[in-house]
Amino acid sequence: MRIKYTISLVFFVALVIIEKENNIISRVSDKLALKQTPQTPLQPSGLSHILPKHNASFTTLSKTNSAFSLIKRRLENYSQHKEVVTRGRKHILLLATTRTGSSFVGEFFNQQGNNMFFLFEPLWHVEKMLTLETGGTNATASAKAYRDVLQQLFLCDFSLLESFIEPLPVNHITTGLFRRESSSSLCQESVCSPVIKGVFERYRCRTRRCGPLNLTMASESCLQKEHRAIKSVRVRQLENLRPLAEDPRLDVKFIQLVRDPRAVLASRMVAFAAKYKNWKQWAIDGEVPIDDDEVRKLKGNCDNIRLSAEIGLRQPAWLRRRYMLVRYEDIARFPMRKATEMYRFAGIPFTPQVKSWILKNTQASKETSGVYSTQKNSSEQVEKWRFSLPFKIAQVVQKVCGPTLKLFGYKFVSSEEMLTDKSISLIEDKVFNFV
């Protein structure tokens, strides 16, 4: 009895400290008000999410020791987190929307080397589950969930993200992490478990065959990296990320990637044909109902992007020297120059490995430049959309996204001839102050 009491007391003290670090979990649970199911265990923080489960009790001393070891490691991690800024560790969040070239630009950081821990679209899991649970209608809950997951991931804590992965990871092991192969950090030998014949044998990373991902190992690998970067197309408003900028454990730099809304729509009509079938039909018919829900959605997306950029460019105190606006068109035309600027802004050395990747992947042939490929002949991609998007559709975009076009320096077209005239550039020379 005395031993059990001592162990219980140690767990209680440890838990109090962990709760201070991980109270995000309970906040998200309260705010989202999701139905509790075995597949979506957004439960308040407690022993249940970090200790082995066996009829709600420990039956062996070995299991108790294992649980205690896990708590000890997390406490050590928490101690390390408190010293993040003083060690010069940088955190980069690349914000964008779909079809803006974010996968391509994300590779600028993914290719950095062994001192960078890069994650590709971890919020995909959060969006998917919240859409199932709330129908995607609770924007406030989504924004808070996105923020809290990002905050924990920058601290190398995958526990909250686990709550959104379907199926739920078993003992922190999953085969279901979205686009794992797009993160070099999650394909390195240190996190590659052996490939198991059968269900796991087809699971591959880009550079090697890997078994299911152990998120505990991923967390430990993350803690060893000097810098951390995350790419996401799911954050709607920069203002919602203010707590990240004000977290003393983090040194976050926000890079917002934007693209001509007309080009974005043209690209989505090709990549997401089923979702954009109305637009494709309107392109054929030549008439667009301006009050249609799809048109209002386009306007809402443009407004969100513009409002975030306006906040960033104003440089409020919480964003001072933390925000950079980059146009995809500038990156496509001057990839090395813009990559150099981004690295200088982030405060990270621009490695030869990244330079080599950029040279190789901005001069790709047509055979390697697919819809989802990161290999592009970048100079040819800039205004390619002008020869596939009907003038009538371009006019609609200009009407509902006019303020966004003006802010980012994209010229309006007044005729079909102007739209398809290669001698006329629709990109203004514009400098966005970010320091």
Q: Are 154 and 146 in contact (CB under 8 A)?
A: no
Instruction: Show pLDDT as tens, one digit a residue, over the chain (435 residues).
Output: 544 444 444 444 344 434 444 443 344 444 343 333 333 333 333 323 333 333 333 333 344 344 445 544 554 554 444 444 436 899 999 999 999 999 999 999 999 988 999 999 999 999 999 988 877 668 889 999 999 999 999 999 999 999 999 999 999 999 999 999 999 999 988 888 777 655 544 556 766 788 899 999 999 999 999 999 999 999 999 999 999 999 999 999 999 999 999 999 999 999 999 999 999 999 998 889 999 999 999 999 999 999 999 999 999 999 999 999 999 999 999 999 999 999 999 999 999 999 999 999 987 544 444 444 444 555 667 889 999 999 999 999 999 999 999 999 999 999 999 999 999 999 999 999 755
Distance CA 187, CA 180 (A): 8
Q: For position 146, what pLDDT does the model report?
A: 97
Given this model, what pLDDT does residue 381 score? 74
Phi and psi torsions of 321, nearest 5°: 65, 20
Q: What is the DSSP string of 67-104?
A: HHHHHHHHHHHHHHHTTTGGGT--EEEEE--TTSSHHH
pLDDT, position 50: 31
Helix, strand, coil percent content, the chain, rounded in steps of 5: 55, 10, 35
Print the SS3 string covering 108-151.
Answer: HHHCCCCCEEEEECCHHHHHHHHHHHHCCCCHHHHHHHHHHHHH
